[in-house]
């Protein structure tokens, strides 16, 4: 059997910090946190309340998670962030960047200083979180232009149409491709063609709202999802994009024109495939009518 000194030594050697937190938010004990790459010495927190060291919103969140763990006999796992804006009343400055933690919270089978309490193990998972964000970004982004890729666009479109079914707001799509783009690749090479597509992406993105989703649909074809946008408004945006691109001088002073098609979803019962077919037909009519134009698909 371990004696108390040995047990205390083991607890203090834990790489991740372990907090004993009461129902009312008092730090009753702090162990571990010896991995100094990720943690400050937390022993000075003992006797303080969460509200002494955290701003109200964050302190309230911790109290709620403590209550949840106390109400359950099971291990309660949470992910959360902390940064300097969350902290107050501490002698040392908080982190100058967001740190992500995984909290493993377990109800203790006995009272601590007369109050229900939990054991809260905090593991710094910032590197893992940032890696997950990078991988997610890579899976959702077109490598050349930095726009959404087709897979991510389809996910966003499905979600937006579901919101439209629920709340009744209009949703429009705009599709366009570059007129005679193949001649640029054939004449000047794919490197120049890629540069043109990057410039075009940046230019078009500037005409869009933050809520719009601009995607590279494939090759020189692009798509824009415009929530809360009726057909008239979407066609107005399409014409601004067409005129802006026509008047822009791309790499090596090249000029481009676009053919654009616009359609608004016939909520709430139109199948997605029917919506996309109408949009494609509008694009092809723009090409048939001489290109460098906008065709709006009137239901």
Cβ-contact 212, 227 below 8 angstroms? yes
Beta-strand pair 27-32/76-82: unpaired
Q: Indicate which residues carry an active-site annotation.
A: 220
Residue 177 pairs in a beta bridge with 221, 259
The burial class, CB within 10 Å (0-12 / 13-18 / 19+), for 156 is middle
DSSP 250: B
The burial class, CB within 10 Å (0-12 / 13-18 / 19+), for 22 is buried
Angle of CA points 8, 9, 13, to nearest 5° = 115
The helix/strand/coil state of 212 is: coil
What distance in Å separates the CA atoms of residue 263 and residue 278, rounded to the nearest whole number?
Answer: 7
The burial class, CB within 10 Å (0-12 / 13-18 / 19+), for 206 is exposed
């Amino acid at each position: 059997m371990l004696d108390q000194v040995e047990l205390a030594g083991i607890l203090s050697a834990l790489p991740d910090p372990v907090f004993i937190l009461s129902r009312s938010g008092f730090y009753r004990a702090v162990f571990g946190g010896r991995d100094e790459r990720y943690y400050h010495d937390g022993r000075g927190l003992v006797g303080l309340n969460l509200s002494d060291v955290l701003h109200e919103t964050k302190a309230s969140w911790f109290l709620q998670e403590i209550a949840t763990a106390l109400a359950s006999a099971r291990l309660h796992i949470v992910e959360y962030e902390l940064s300097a804006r969350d902290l107050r009343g501490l002698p040392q400055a908080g982190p100058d960047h967001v740190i992500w933690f995984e909290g493993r919270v377990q109800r203790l089978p006995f009272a601590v200083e007369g109050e229900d309490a939990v054991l809260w193990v905090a593991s710094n998972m910032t590197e893992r979180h940032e890696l997950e964000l990078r991988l997610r970004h890579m899976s959702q982004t077109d490598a050349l232009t930095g726009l959404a890729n087709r897979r991510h666009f389809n996910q966003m479109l499905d979600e937006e149409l579901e919101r439209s079914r629920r709340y009744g707001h209009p949703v429009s799509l705009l599709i366009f491709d570059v007129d005679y783009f193949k001649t640029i690749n054939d004449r000047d090479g794919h490197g120049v063609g890629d540069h043109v597509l990057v410039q075009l992406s940046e230019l078009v993105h500037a005409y869009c709202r933050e809520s719009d989703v601009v995607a590279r649909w494939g090759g020189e074809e692009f798509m824009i999802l415009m929530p809360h946008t009726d057909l008239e408004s979407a066609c107005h945006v399409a014409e601004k994009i067409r005129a802006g691109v026509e008047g822009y001088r791309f790499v090596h002073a090249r000029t481009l024109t676009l053919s654009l098609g616009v359609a608004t979803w016939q909520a709430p019962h139109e199948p997605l495939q029917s919506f996309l077919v109408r949009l494609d037909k509008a694009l092809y009519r723009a090409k048939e009518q001489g290109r460098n134009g906008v065709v709006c698909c009137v239901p």
